[in-house]
Structure 1
Amino acid sequence: MGQIVIVAYKPKPGKEEALKQLMKTHIPRLKQEGLVTDRKSIIMEAADGTIIEVFEWLSAEAIANAHHNKAVQQMWGEYAEVCDYVPLNTLKEAGNMFASFVPVN
């Protein structure tokens, strides 16, 4: 069974565009490794510039396998250069009954 996740990426100063470009490759690269479903991801932006993504891993096993996959580890290294992962509840919008964001894709 798939696992839908929501992740927030806060761009490092001056790395906003680099993060957005990297986001375009995220799902295709995971798909190439057989780790995500065919479900289209949703990418959006918070008022503070944080990028939020909703996507579906193939399974809990796929998530575990990602942590031992060299291609995924390389990609995560690229993410570490341009952003920090932040909890959703740190976003101002998360405190609203209907959290709304600006679409990126």
Structure 2
Amino acid sequence: MNRSWLNGTLFSPEYINGVKEFMSFIQRKFGEDEDILCPCSRCLNQKSFHQAFVEKHILMNGMESTYTRWIHHGENFEEDAGHSIHGTGVIDDDSYGDDCFDGMLQDLCTA
């Protein structure tokens, strides 16, 4: 599923269609009257609301752009395992071996 709409302009046709697609995904995973976590940029998957309210929140506030793997909404966490976590760009890489802490500190200093 294309998720480029997450970084799109609010109220654009692409964004509105993306929200509709997300809500269709939700409706396949949850019951019609079941509350879901709100992934809008204000709630950040911390508050649960009725699905219609969540849709309005996403349309008005925008969806959190880093929430690209919808694990709180029924998407399989194991999909694309080892690439990134929640779309944050954090790579599951164990190339540092036993001394991973020093390697991470070096990366931090380099950044």
Q: What is the TM-score with the length of structure 1 in the denominator?
A: 0.29
The structure that has the greater radius of gyration is: 2
Bigger strand fraction: 1
